[in-house]
Amino acid sequence: MALSTSFRSNLIKPLTALTALSSTQHLRRPFSSSVDDSTALTIETSVPFVGHKCEPPSRNVETTSKELLGFFHDMALMRRMEIASDSLYKSKLIRGFCHLYDGQEAVAVGMEAAITKKDCIITAYRDHCIYLGRGGTLVECFSELMGRQAGCSKGKGGSMHFYKKDSGFYGGHGIVGAQVPLGCGLAFAQKYSKDETVTFAMYGDGAANQGQLFEALNMAALLDLPAIFVCENNHYGMGTAEWRAAKSPSYYKRGDYVPGLKVDGMDAFAVKQACRFAKEHALKNGPIILEMDTYRYHGHSMSDPGSTYRTRDEISGVRQERDPIERIRKLILSHELSTEAELKNIEKKIRSEVDDAIAQAKESSMPDPSELFTNVYVKGFGIEVAGADRKEVRGVLP
C-alpha cells in the first residue's frame, strides 16, 4: 500500500534524529568506567518535546547507572515475553484475541520510572507489558494468557483483561476507547480524596477519534481532574494508517483548551521526563494530553500479519533506527557501564526466566466450573437462576 509523502516523512523524522545517538552531544560521559549503581548521569532526549499550550520540559534527563541498566533489563524482559506469547499463540496454547506490545516497551518503562504505584493506570487491550511494569510476574502473565487459575484475573480475562488493583492497574479493556472515561472516574476519586496522585488513561491513535474520549476530556477539564490522557500513537489503527483516519493526526493538540505534549515514545528517558512533567502539571492545573510517538512491530493482533498495509522495509527501518532497547544498549556501552558480552548474558538469563515461567504456567489448572458465576455480582448479594427443569437456585455466591 502506498503511503502519503507527509505520513512517511513524519514517521522517518525521529529516525534521522536518532542516528546521531553515537554523537557526543547526545551522550554525556562525566565519569570513568569504574562506576557504581548510584553514579549520576544526564541523558539528552533523542528529539525535542513539542508543546501545545504549555512550555515543554528540558531535554536533559537526570538518571543513574542503576536506572539505565534497569531500563535495559525491563524492556528486554517485556520484549522476550511478547515474542514467547507469539509462539504460544501459534501453538494454540493462547486462544482468542492477543495484542502484542513489542516495539512500544519504552512507554511502559519510562512511565513507571516517573510515578508511584499509588498513581493509577488504565489502558486498552495491549496491556501485558503495562501489567508487568506495575509489578506483575511472568507466571501470572503467561497463566492468564493461557486461561489458567494462576493468572492475574484467575484465567477468566485472557490477554485483554489483565488487572492489578493493589498496584493501581485497572485493566486491560476490550472496548475501544471505553477505558478513558473510567480513567477520569479514577481521577475524580483521587481529587475527592486529596491524595496527590494522578491517573494515566491510555489509548491508541485508533481510539483517538472516539466521541467518548472528548466527552471525558471536557469533564476532566471542567473539574480540573488529575487525569493524564496518553495517546500511544503507533501510527496504525488496526490496518489503517493515521493519515487515512484523522484529518488532524497531531493528537497532542486534540484537547484544544487542554495542554498537550508530543513525546518520542521510543525513548524511555523522554517518556520518563514527559510523565514527570505531566504529573506535576495535572496535580496543579488539571488534565494534559501526552502523545507518545511509538511503533509496534507485530500486527494489530495475532490475526493480523502486519505487512499488508505497510512495507517490511518500513518495519526494519524503525527497528534499526529507533528501537527502544537498542537505544538503551548504545547508552550503556557508550558510558562503559557494561560490555556487549554482559548485556547478551542478561538477555540469555531473561530467555531462561521466561521459559521457566511458561513451564510453571502450564502446570496451573484451568478455572473450576464453579468460577463461572464469580466476579459478576457484588459479593454477598447472590444470584437467582432458573434451570431447564425450572427449579430455582439461590445464593450461588458466597
**Residue 375 confidence (pLDDT):** 80
CATH class name, domain 2-367: alpha beta
Greater model confidence, 394 or 170: 170
| Cα–Cα distance for residue pair 62/9, rounded to 1 Å | 31
Q: Identify the H or E element spanning 13.
A: helix 5-18
- Nearest CA to 308 out of 240, 256, 394 is that of 240
Statement: residue 281 has pLDDT above 70: yes
Cβ-defined contacts of 215-222 (< 8 Å, 24+)? 215/181, 216/180, 216/181, 216/183, 216/184, 217/255, 217/258, 217/287, 217/289, 219/184, 220/184, 220/187, 220/258, 220/286, 220/287, 221/255, 221/257, 221/258, 221/286, 221/287
- Nearest CA to 235 out of 317, 334, 302, 167 is that of 317
| Cα–Cα distance for residue pair 176/213, rounded to 1 Å | 10
- Nearest CA to 120 out of 232, 260, 282 is that of 282
CA-based torsion, 373, 377, 379, 380: positive or negative: negative
Q: Tell me the backbone φ, ψ of residue 120, rounded to 5 degrees.
A: -100, 150
Specify burial of residue 260 (Cβ count, 10 A radius: 0-12, 13-18, 19+).
Answer: buried
Per-residue confidence at 17, pLDDT binned at 50, 70, 90?
Answer: very low
Domain coordinates in residue numbering, the chain: 2-367, 370-398
Average pLDDT of the residues in 61-77 = 98
C-alpha distances (whole Å) from 52 to each of 253, 290, 392 are 6, 10, 60
Per-residue confidence at 7, pLDDT binned at 50, 70, 90?
Answer: low
Which residue in this structure is represented by grid cell 489448572? 365
Per-residue confidence at 24, pLDDT binned at 50, 70, 90?
Answer: very low
| Cα–Cα distance for residue pair 362/115, rounded to 1 Å | 33
Report the range of poorest mean pLDDT among 4-18, 84-98, 241-255: 4-18
Average pLDDT of the residues in 5-29 = 44
| Amino acid sitting at position 278 | A
Report the range of poorest mean pLDDT among 22-36, 51-65, 335-349: 22-36
Per-residue confidence at 37, pLDDT binned at 50, 70, 90?
Answer: confident
Average pLDDT of the residues in 374-393 = 62
| Cα–Cα distance for residue pair 215/179, rounded to 1 Å | 13
- Nearest CA to 35 out of 1, 69, 7 is that of 69
Statement: residue 393 has pLDDT above 80: no
**Residue 95 confidence (pLDDT):** 95
Statement: residue 20 has pLDDT above 50: no
Statement: residue 156 has pLDDT above 90: yes
**Residue 6 confidence (pLDDT):** 52
Per-residue confidence at 398, pLDDT binned at 50, 70, 90?
Answer: very low
Specify burial of residue 354 (Cβ count, 10 A radius: 0-12, 13-18, 19+).
Answer: buried
The length of the chain, given as a count of residues = 398
Statement: residue 159 has pLDDT above 80: yes
Q: Find all residues with CB under 8 Å of 116, minimum gap 6, and list them.
A: 197
**Residue 15 confidence (pLDDT):** 47
| Cα–Cα distance for residue pair 103/304, rounded to 1 Å | 16
Say if residues 282 and 198 touch (Cβ distance below 8 Å): yes
- For 356-380, what is each residue's pLDDT tens digit? 999 999 999 999 998 887 888 777 6
Please name every residue paired with 121 in a beta bridge, in sequence order, or none if there are none: 169, 200
- For 72-85, what is each residue's pLDDT tens digit? 999 999 999 999 99
- Nearest CA to 66 out of 28, 38, 41, 42 is that of 38
Q: How many Cα atoms within 13 Å fall on the side-chain side of residue 38?
A: 0
**Residue 382 confidence (pLDDT):** 61
| Amino acid sitting at position 155 | G
Q: What is the mean pLDDT of the chain?
A: 90
Greater model confidence, 357 or 392: 357
**Residue 379 confidence (pLDDT):** 74
Per-residue confidence at 250, pLDDT binned at 50, 70, 90?
Answer: very high
| Cα–Cα distance for residue pair 176/178, rounded to 1 Å | 6
- For 302-313, what is each residue's pLDDT tens digit? 999 999 999 999
| Cα–Cα distance for residue pair 322/45, rounded to 1 Å | 12
**Residue 365 confidence (pLDDT):** 97
| Cα–Cα distance for residue pair 143/131, rounded to 1 Å | 13
Report the range of poorest mean pLDDT among 2-11, 176-185, 251-260: 2-11
Say if residues 240 and 7 touch (Cβ distance below 8 Å): no
**Residue 373 confidence (pLDDT):** 79
| Cα–Cα distance for residue pair 236/252, rounded to 1 Å | 16
C-alpha distances (whole Å) from 238 to each of 158, 178, 245, 252, 290 are 20, 17, 11, 20, 21
Per-residue confidence at 29, pLDDT binned at 50, 70, 90?
Answer: very low
Question: Which percentage of the chain shows pLDDT scores above 70?
Answer: 86
Report the range of poorest mean pLDDT among 33-47, 80-94, 144-158, 308-322: 33-47
State whether residue 132 is helix, strand or coil.
helix
Report the range of poorest mean pLDDT among 74-88, 249-263, 268-282, 369-383: 369-383
